[in-house]
Amino acid sequence: MADSHSHACCDSSGPIPKDEVAAHDGCCGSDHGHSHDSAEFNLRQELTPIAIAAILFLIGLIFNERLHNTPFAVAEYAVLIPAYLISGWTVLTTAGRNILRGRIFDENFLMTIATLGAIAIHEIPEAVAVMLFFQVGELFQGYSVGRSRRSIKALLEVRPDTANLSVDGDIRAVAPETVRVGDVIVVRPGEKVPLDGNILEGKSLVDTSALTGESLPRTVAPGETVLAGMINQSGLLTVQVTKPFGESSIARILELVENASSKKADTEKFITRFARYYTPVVVFLSLAVAILPPLFIEGATQAQWVYRALVLLVISCPCGLVISIPLGYFGGVGGAAKRGILVKGSTYLDTLAQVKTVVFDKTGTLTQGNFRVTNVVTHNGLKKHQLLELAAQVESQSTHPVAQSIRQAYGQTVDISGVQDYEEIAGHGIRAQVNGRTVLAGNDRLLHRENIPHDVCTVDGTVAHLAVDGEYSGRIIIADELKKDAVEAIQALHAQGIQTAMLTGDSQSVADSIAKKLGLDQYRAELLPEDKVNALEEFLQRASQTKSKVAFVGDGINDAPVIARADVGIAMGGLGSDAAIETADVVIMTDAPSKVAVAIQIAHKTRRIVWQNISLAMAVKALFIALGAIGLATLWEAVFADVGVALLAILNAGRIIRHPQ
């Protein structure tokens, strides 16, 4: 774990199932309407048929009486039927396909029956209006979804367009998707790395900010790994591809945000189920309205009640709900992406809105994770440079930030020829044979485990103790710094009424200092990896009593078990790693802990807007259904009740993108 390197003295010791895919692309999960799955929403292309239909509709409306008075009303049909077909073709064809598939009672069926019925009783302008305004609603939906996608694309403008493939000394530009594992590519200065791979030749600085949020370029050399999306800043790099483009980090991130709808919120699932039962009820109720009153009410005409039934059908279409609710959540995901926060699905937005406790890891989450050696204390006659050399040798295979800081402090090439039998002891440290001597490097817990006498247990700072052949040889003190926005992050969470806590494997003294500086509500130190999971279980148990949720924020690699166990797992700046993408529910691309509070704010706003849309749609539809049943609402009012509510809900959902906080 990230903080397992040091402990104070005398301490003795899956996967979430995928929900059904949300239906963003058209009402009621149908496949009609606009191509919302396309990379870009082409407004001109989508607007052209609507504009043509609208012109024909206006001509038919303005000159309706004159057109109607032609023989057999042929001019009226010649103008309005093309407008009807142009605006309603996708609805009509989708309704037909769905009937053949056995999916009869959906939005398309309701609208088809209502509009064909209107044409049958010669209310053609109303039929065109229903289809035309429905397509306008679909246009707004497509535009809103496109804007959400653009927010995500702007964040991830790191997708490479071409790869320079090297074949027998010849360089040619090809699509990254066509490059195979084992192929060799060349990345020139200023170009994006197109695929994940290992450097064969060249040394350079690479900008990793788009993937990891790190502001400083990273030096890479032969033998090191580069990831798709990094930008080569200086030298020419020859890279051997290790993953096909579809499995590269950047491709997986793009897939992650594009498929965020696959994790549906409970509200979305409820509305989907509601529409499934609601629609057939409406159809049979409308049928009853058309047939029964003329049989039992004196003076009631068939035409009058058929018209009312058609009005009821159009009013009752659940389009406002079925479009706007998924769109509201999708807007939340897009609004979060605009702020550098990737949310894997709307269900996590719902859960974030219920979070009342946020638990942080320390190293790399609240602190920089950039350790540096501040003091070297030796015993048994060793000099400082000898102790540093010994520590650098035994830590030569470790990727832990403490190990890296020791090697950096040593400042020379580490001779590892004499290092053998390397063993990493989880939560304690490292044991290895160095030139025939048994060397231990780790925390205070390791010394107690191996029964090695030592004079100092509690040290102010992160510490790596060393022992050679069972004798204490000294310690190296390492300092870490708080992230710039760590204090702001805790204050922002407290302002929202959220409790904060920290779980760390570091020493009690270090934890005390960090907690005091940040103003944390709770903290626990000297935790082994399994201890962190157990501690989180206690937070989860307490939260369940108040029906609230717990979020855990970690580095996404070392804290994967705790991230997976939390109600919401949040990874900090770990987008270069598979562990972050696979385990976390939310990923903070900018590596800033203050974004946790922003994510929760977005979740609250999303949930508020979604429920505003539900309330609006239900209230308006209930009112107009009542008016339609008693004959006070026409098809024109029905169009407003259906499409008007949908438009208002879509515009309301768009506020999440415009004002993500």
Residue pLDDT, tens place only, 67-76? 888 888 889 9
Is 350 one of the catalytic residues? no
Q: What confidence category does residue 485 fall into, taking pLDDT thresholds of 50, 70 and 90? A: very high
Question: How many residues can be counted in the chain?
Answer: 661
124 pLDDT more than 80: yes
Q: What confidence category does residue 85 fall into, taking pLDDT thresholds of 50, 70 and 90? A: very high
Contact (Cβ atoms closer than 8 angstroms) between residue 195 and residue 251: no
Q: What confidence category does residue 127 fall into, taking pLDDT thresholds of 50, 70 and 90? A: confident
pLDDT in tens, 553-589: 987 556 778 888 899 999 886 554 555 566 788 888 7
Give the contacts of 369 (CB within 8 A, at least 6 positions apart): 2, 363, 401, 480, 555
Tell me which of 136-150, 353-367, 413-427 is least confident: 136-150
How big is the CA angle at 165 (ends 161 and 168), to the nearest 5 degrees?
Answer: 165
Q: What is the CATH number of domain 372-479?
A: 3.40.1110.10
Q: What is the 3-state secondary structure (H, E, C) of 357-400?
A: EEEECCCCCCECCCCEEEEEEECCCCCHHHHHHHHHHHCCCCCC
User: Where do the structural domains in the chain lie, given as residue ranges?
Assistant: 163-245, 334-368+482-603, 372-479
Q: What confidence category does residue 550 fall into, taking pLDDT thresholds of 50, 70 and 90? A: very high
Tell me which of 111-115, 146-150, 393-397, 494-498 is least confident: 146-150
Question: Which class is domain 163-245?
Answer: mainly beta
1 pLDDT more than 70: no
Which residues on neighbouring strands pair with residue 441, listed in sequence order? 430, 466
Amino acid type, 579: A
Q: What confidence category does residue 209 fall into, taking pLDDT thresholds of 50, 70 and 90? A: low
404-421: average pLDDT: 87
CA distance 438 to 432: 6
Contact (Cβ atoms closer than 8 angstroms) between residue 19 and residue 83: no
Which residues on neighbouring strands pair with residue 478, listed in sequence order? 373, 462
CA atoms within 13 A on the CB side of 129: 21
Q: What confidence category does residue 131 fall into, taking pLDDT thresholds of 50, 70 and 90? A: confident
Amino acid type, 355: V
Amino acid type, 157: E
406-434: average pLDDT: 87
Q: Is the dihedral of CA 504, 509, 512, 518 positive or negative?
A: negative
Residue 11's closest CA among 427, 565, 581? 427
CA distance 587 to 9: 35
Q: What confidence category does residue 255 fall into, taking pLDDT thresholds of 50, 70 and 90? A: low
Angstrom CA distances, 255 to 38, 149, 161, 252, 583, stand at 13, 12, 16, 5, 15
Active site residue: 361, 485, 559, 642, which one?
361
Please indicate, yes or no, whether the overall pTM of this predicted structure exceeds 0.85: no
Kindly tell me the number of DSSP H helices and DSSP E strands found in the chain. Answer: 23, 22
Collapsing DSSP to helix, strand or coil, 588 comes out as strand
CA distance 466 to 472: 6
Q: What confidence category does residue 190 fall into, taking pLDDT thresholds of 50, 70 and 90? A: confident
- For 334-368+482-603, the fitting CATH number among 3.40.50.12780, 3.40.190.10, 3.40.1190.20, 3.40.50.1000 is 3.40.50.1000
115 pLDDT more than 90: no
Angstrom CA distances, 138 to 99, 262, 273, 279, 339, stand at 22, 21, 22, 20, 27
Query: Residue 47 class from Cβ within 10 Å (0-12 exposed, 13-18 middle, 19+ buried)?
Result: middle
